[in-house]
Amino acid sequence: DIRLSRRVTAVRPSPTLAVTARAQQLRREGKDIVSLGAGEPDFDTPEYIKDAAIQAIHRGFTKYTAVGGTPELKAAIMAKFARDNQLEYHPNEVLVSVGGKQSFFNLCQALLDAGDEVIIPAPYWVSYPDMVILAEACPVIIDTDAAQHFKILPEQLEAAITENTRFLVLNSPSNPSGVAYSRSELEALGEVLRRHPRILIATDDMYEKILFQDQPFVNITNACPDLKERCIVMNGVSKAYAMTGWRIGYCAGPEALITAMNTVQSQSTSNPTSIAQVAAQAALEGGDSAVHEMVHAFRRRHAYVYGRLQSLPGVNVLPSDGTFYSFPGFHEVMQAKNLQDDLILAEALLEAGVAVVPGSAFGSPGHIRLSFATSDKNLEMALDRIEQFVKG
């Protein structure tokens, strides 16, 4: 028997990927399954982005680059932060990584020791707690529910803080809940954080561009500019430009922290793929018309999915502010059908022909995450099946 590390045995494999695998297995067995499990846009990467990468190959841009990203891509990222977020950074405060996932991994490795705590609001993106555990630190989960629109309250934050707290994670708009914090909600959290000057804040803005409201995006550095020195702003091209497979994420923050994260990256992956960096630069410099087209489709599909779910008895759904997810509560349905937990609910829905991700994967049992990053036809079919299941 191979003795594995304590570190790795404490970590769960990604539950979202497990659902996809199970749905594929049923499909191979000939079952007709509509998948609402996707965590990525169903659109193709825009043509001008692909062209930039192809040209990069032809001109031989196929060697190592600087570990933390090419100067050209960093310049495009700095311009993006200035343009979209009113944030000024120097190149030494910016790091490009192999997806947003590696940005957060680097952060945990650079910042955390055994006994440290990281405050993570639930429902959360599945990887946060496990990456904290991989760094031998302790996730401290703040539970939220639909009544508080899945957003943490200042008093909850205050109560979760201890001497060991190293940082707080904010993800808005949120995967999986789809909700976004308002400026005043962020200001209220900022007041708590001002009382605890040692605590850093990681703001994961990965879904920044996928917003349905007309107000501009705000993160905590916009709401509380005095906290910028304690913030690490995380973003990437995966969701905004339909580039999940290219694996480019980026972040910006205090130079000492970014330098330490760069060191972690230098001894693990080194630079992200040279060609993908050129593609990401083209994405960030190419304007947002392709993004707007996608958001238009997501907004329309959201209205459809939200409307259908709202009409279902026993289903408790909030409108999403952005992302391509809806996160309805199925507590009453589960009770009526005598289903013990949301894993059993997800399995029953799979039998009914729809793949979804159970809410407990995100730390919020009794819910399911539906992705509307799929065609209108699939959404209609899936919602018909869910309706039949709920009413049947």
Q: How far is the CB of 226 from ligand PLP (least distance, A)?
A: 25
From the list 55-63, 97-105, 225-233, 363-371, the region that binds ligand PLP by CB under 6 A is 97-105
Given a contact cutoff of 8 angstroms between Cβ atoms, the answer to whether 118 and 166 are in contact is yes
* Of the candidates 27, 35, 1, 61, the residue with the CA atom closest to the CA atom of residue 357: 35
Q: How far is the CB of 239 from ligand PLP (least distance, A)?
A: 7
Structure tokens at 87: 């944030």
Q: How far is the CB of 188 from ligand PLP (least distance, A)?
A: 22
Can residue 125 be called a binding residue for ligand PLP (CB under 6 A)?
Answer: yes
Residue with the shortest CB distance to ligand PLP? 99
In the complex with ligand PLP, the residue whose CB is nearer, 110 or 131, is 131
In the complex with ligand PLP, the residue whose CB is nearer, 37 or 100, is 100
Number of residues this chain uses to bind ligand PLP (CB under 6 A): 13
What is the CA 66 to chain-centroid distance, rounded? 26
Q: Which helix (H) or strand (E) holds 110?
A: helix 99-111
Can residue 204 be called a binding residue for ligand PLP (CB under 6 A)?
Answer: yes
The sign of the dihedral angle between the CA atoms of 237, 243, 245, 246 is negative
What separation in angstroms does the CA of 349 have from each of 15, 133, 330, 338, 365? 16, 31, 12, 14, 16
The interface mask with ligand PLP, positions 31-50, x = CB under 6 A, is --------x-----------
* Of the candidates 254, 185, 247, 253, the residue with the CA atom closest to the CA atom of residue 215: 185
Q: How far is the CB of 325 from ligand PLP (least distance, A)?
A: 9
Can residue 361 be called a binding residue for ligand PLP (CB under 6 A)?
Answer: no
Q: How far is the CB of 276 from ligand PLP (least distance, A)?
A: 11
Cα–Cα–Cα angle for 183, 188, 192, rounded to 5 degrees: 140
Can residue 322 be called a binding residue for ligand PLP (CB under 6 A)?
Answer: no
In the complex with ligand PLP, the residue whose CB is nearer, 306 or 324, is 324
In the complex with ligand PLP, the residue whose CB is nearer, 279 or 334, is 279
Can residue 365 be called a binding residue for ligand PLP (CB under 6 A)?
Answer: no
The interface mask with ligand PLP, positions 136-175, x = CB under 6 A, is -----------------------------------x---x
Name which of residues 5 to 34 contact ligand PLP (CB under 6 A). none
User: Which residue bears the tokens 């391509």?
Assistant: 324
Report the residue from 80, 101, 301, 302 that binds ligand PLP according to the rule CB under 6 A.
101
From the list 3-11, 94-102, 214-222, 281-289, the region that binds ligand PLP by CB under 6 A is 94-102
Q: How far is the CB of 221 from ligand PLP (least distance, A)?
A: 17
Structure tokens at 3: 């003795």
Q: Rounded to whole angstroms, how far apart are CA atoms 51 and 76?
A: 18
Given a contact cutoff of 8 angstroms between Cβ atoms, the answer to whether 84 and 208 are in contact is yes
Q: How far is the CB of 349 from ligand PLP (least distance, A)?
A: 21
| Pairing of the two strands 325-326 and 368-371 | antiparallel
Buried b (16+ CB within 10 A) or exposed e, 377-389: ebbebbbebbbeb
In the complex with ligand PLP, the residue whose CB is nearer, 89 or 125, is 125
Residue 387 makes CB contacts below 8 A (sequence gap 6+) with 308, 312
Can residue 363 be called a binding residue for ligand PLP (CB under 6 A)?
Answer: no
Output the furthest CA–CA distance in the chain (Å, rounded): 63
Report the residue from 121, 249, 363, 366 that binds ligand PLP according to the rule CB under 6 A.
249
Q: Which helix (H) or strand (E) holds 166?
A: strand 165-171
Residues that bind ligand PLP (CB under 6 A): 39, 99-101, 125, 171, 175, 204, 206, 236, 238, 244, 249
